[in-house]
């Protein structure tokens, strides 16, 4: 069962939920754009949490600054990168040795921009990176990236725009396209969870 916690990010208190599992694997999960209603309770974020939990990971999801009950205000992705680092540091402080980053939409963009310690982050997953909506030009190669998921009807994360970017991010990463799904995965959440489950099982860290 998840427990409510508070993270501290450069003096700001962020609202979070952690579910602790045995073992040393953990995942930080990030949510879609807070200015458009995104928060840690988003159904896709919950799908990510369920997939990781079912594979024995400690999971940590949180509200970015200015979202939900988290302090501060939206910072166009800059301060949010510090929020991600704070969440990663929190898990490390709990004894989690292998940490993964998984983000949906805006959360995937923030994760990709965040300069995390490559020795600490063993895998990253992007769900619907919003390449048609956010500026990905500053995203550097992503050696830990193993999976990108989008929908065939996702106009915010269109597969035809993701493919050329993926070759620069990490050509070894898999691209999964869920037929019929749009950016919100309405009626396709079960299929999304299947994709995540299969990937986590096949590429155990």
Per-residue model confidence (pLDDT) at position 104: 98
Per-residue model confidence (pLDDT) at position 87: 98
Token pair in block for residue 111 = 């994760």
Q: What pLDDT digit, counting tens, does each position of 52-94 carry?
A: 999 999 999 999 999 999 999 999 999 999 999 999 999 999 9
Q: In whole angstroms, give the CA distance from residue 11 to residue 152.
A: 41
Residue 7 near residue 90, CB atoms below 8 Å? yes
pLDDT for 205 beyond 80? no
Q: Identify the band that residue 169 occupies on the pLDDT scale cut at 50, 70 and 90.
A: very high
Per-residue model confidence (pLDDT) at position 202: 84
* Helix and strand element counts for the chain (H, E): 5, 8
Q: Identify the band that residue 120 occupies on the pLDDT scale cut at 50, 70 and 90.
A: confident
Whole-model pTM over 0.95: yes
Per-residue model confidence (pLDDT) at position 119: 79
In this prediction, residues 98-124 reach a mean pLDDT of 94
Residue 13 near residue 71, CB atoms below 8 Å? yes
Per-residue model confidence (pLDDT) at position 115: 87
Q: Identify the band that residue 118 occupies on the pLDDT scale cut at 50, 70 and 90.
A: confident
Q: In whole angstroms, give the CA distance from residue 82 to residue 23.
A: 26
Domain boundaries, the chain: 3-202
SS3 201: helix
Q: What pLDDT digit, counting tens, does each position of 173-190 carry?
A: 999 999 999 999 999 999
Sheet with 12-19, strands from edge to edge, namely 3-9, 12-19, 58-62, 25-30, 98-104, 121-127, 145-151, 174-178
**Architecture label for domain 3-202:** 3-Layer(aba) Sandwich (3.40)
Per-residue model confidence (pLDDT) at position 116: 84
Position with higher pLDDT, 115 vs 189: 189
Q: What angle do CA 6, 77, 162 make, to 5 degrees?
A: 120
pLDDT for 129 beyond 90? yes
Q: Are strands 98-104 and 25-30 parallel, antiparallel or unpaired?
A: parallel
């Amino acid at each position: 069962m998840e427990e409510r916690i508070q993270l501290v990010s450069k003096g700001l208190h962020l609202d979070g939920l952690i579910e602790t599992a045995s073992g040393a694997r953990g995942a930080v999960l990030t949510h879609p754009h807070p200015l458009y209603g995104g928060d840690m309770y988003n159904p896709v974020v919950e799908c990510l949490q369920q997939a990781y939990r079912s594979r024995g990971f400690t999971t940590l999801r949180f509200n970015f600054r200015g979202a939900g009950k988290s302090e501060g205000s939206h910072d166009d992705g800059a301060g949010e990168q510090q929020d991600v680092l704070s969440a990663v540091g929190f898990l490390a402080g709990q004894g989690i040795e292998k940490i993964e980053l998984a983000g949906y939409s805006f959360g995937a963009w923030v994760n990709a921009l965040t300069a995390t310690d490559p020795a600490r982050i063993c895998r990253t997953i992007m769900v619907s990176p919003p390449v048609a909506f956010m500026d990905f030009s500053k995203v550097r190669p992503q050696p830990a990236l193993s999976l990108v998921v989008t929908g065939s009807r996702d106009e915010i994360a269109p597969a035809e725009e993701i493919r050329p970017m993926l070759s620069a991010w990490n050509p070894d990463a898999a691209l999964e396209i869920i037929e019929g799904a749009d950016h919100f995965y309405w009626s396709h959440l079960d299929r999304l969870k299947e994709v995540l489950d299969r990937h986590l099982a096949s590429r155990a860290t």
